[in-house]
Amino acid sequence: MANPRLRSLLWWRKWAKKDWAIAAVGFTIFISALNFLFDSRTNDLDISTAEDLVDLTLLQNAKDRGAFCLDGSSPGYHFQEGFGSGSRNWLLHIEGGGWCNTIESCLHRKTTPLGSSKYMQRQIPFAGLMSRNPSQNPDFFNWNKVYIRYCDGASFAGHTESELKNVTNLYFSGQLIWESVMDELLSIGLSNANQALLSGCSAGGLATLIHCDNFRDLMPKDATVKCLADAGFFLDEKDILGNYTMRSFYHDVVHLQGVSKSLPKDCTSRMDSSKCLFPQEIIKGIRTPLFLVNPAYDYWQIQHILVPDGSDAHGHWQKCRMNLQYCNPSQIEKLQDFRSSLLNALSDFQQNKEGGMFINSCFIHCQTWMANTWHSPTSPKINNKTIAEAVGDWYFNRRVVNEVDCPYPCNPTCYNMEFA
């Protein structure tokens, strides 16, 4: 029987097997993650109080702009006003939740919170980097905070020219959603920001990379503006059968939803636009200071890029891809190679004096929006620094931050997922 501490995630695993194109860390996991346990440190888990619940706001200008979720409903965000010294500082976080690469998967997705605001929770808790508790979030607790809901299926980069409204009632307007959200936030105070940080998790982390420079361009010239991508550095790597599964998948996403127009022109002019959706290409042209938080053993990437469903016909990897404790020596060697590929892809970025990174050796995915992985006495650490401390040191230029962990299983502070 599966670990009962993770029953809240089992539906997601089944969904991924049905169609992994729409599986990832989405809103439902965001909520349930506050209630399941990573490991034996159960009693330390932070559960948000009612005061942390933040209401959903639907975009007022969505209809006029043609900015719709996949099903045609209005996109939304959750806004919590800053106070004190943070009243003119802004932290925006883009929700994650995978992508849809076929008409079928997009049709399914539009019946979920990741494709329609009709199914979104009207209140969500703000924790981790979104918390206003100074002990949980020492550097950003009193900032204005916005959690941008994800309902387009292409990391806020789809274009209406590719829409299939007449045939399937699908709206591909991710780019317009991004622009409309920015317009509305600028009108309520973002245009007067002194400091701003754009962040995102998973597919939201990829969206952060895609829109980072545009975000900088929208801010006042004298504002301090930076970007943070959490678990958004997806690798263009072969799976265990030697196939480029992720490359093929991104190719379908890009061409179905017309994503290429949102990708760096210097990249799309040199190579197939689907390759330009990979972060290792996007970051080459980003001008804005950027910080990358990524586990070297990202469970989503291991389960969908390295060992995707269908690549392990005999089930040799089944236990390993769900829990690293069950990996044999040859599988561990493959995982170490995957880690090396990540570090190789980041080798040039490490020389970026304005950039920063926190690459820990944990079997997890997003780590910034939960107190226990962002900043707590038992949070994952590298060189005795939590992710929150590393990000804060980088953002405020307190020190150079290039934290790269030793290989698994060296770090006892890790929260490691156990799916089986």
User: Helix axis angle, 203-218 relative to 174-187, nearest 10°?
Assistant: 50
| Identity at 139, one-letter amino acid code | D
Task: Provide the 3-class DSSP secondary structure of residue 38.
Answer: coil
CA 253-254-257 angle, to 5 degrees, is 75
Catalytic residue among 260, 298, 379, 405: 298
DSSP class of 226: E
Is 298 annotated in the active site? yes
Which sign does the torsion angle of CA 314, 202, 209, 121 carry? Answer: positive
DSSP code per residue over 279-339: HHHHTTS--S-EEEEEETT-HHHIIIIIS-TTS-TT-TTTTTTT-GGG--HHHHHHHHHHH
Query: How far is residue 199's CA from residue 197's CA, in Å, rounded to a whole number?
Result: 6
- Would you call the peptide bond into 377 cis, given omega within 30 degrees of 0 as the criterion? no
Query: Which residues on adjacent β-strands are paired with residue 206?
Result: none
What are 94's two structure tokens? Answer: 């883009």
- CB-side neighbour CA atoms (13 Å) of 198: 27
Which residues, in sequence order, are CB contacts of 294 under 8 Å at separation 6+?
229, 230, 231, 232, 233, 342, 357, 358, 359
Query: How far is residue 139's CA from residue 131's CA, in Å, rounded to a whole number?
Result: 10
Nearest to 21 by CA among 167, 165, 160, 203: 203
Query: How far is residue 29's CA from residue 414's CA, in Å, rounded to a whole number?
Result: 19
Is 239 annotated in the active site? no
Is 376 annotated in the active site? no
Residue 124 phi/psi, 5-degree rounding, is -135, 155
Catalytic residue among 202, 260, 262, 341: 202
Catalytic residue among 78, 304, 365, 375: 365
Residues labelled as active-site residues? 202, 298, 365
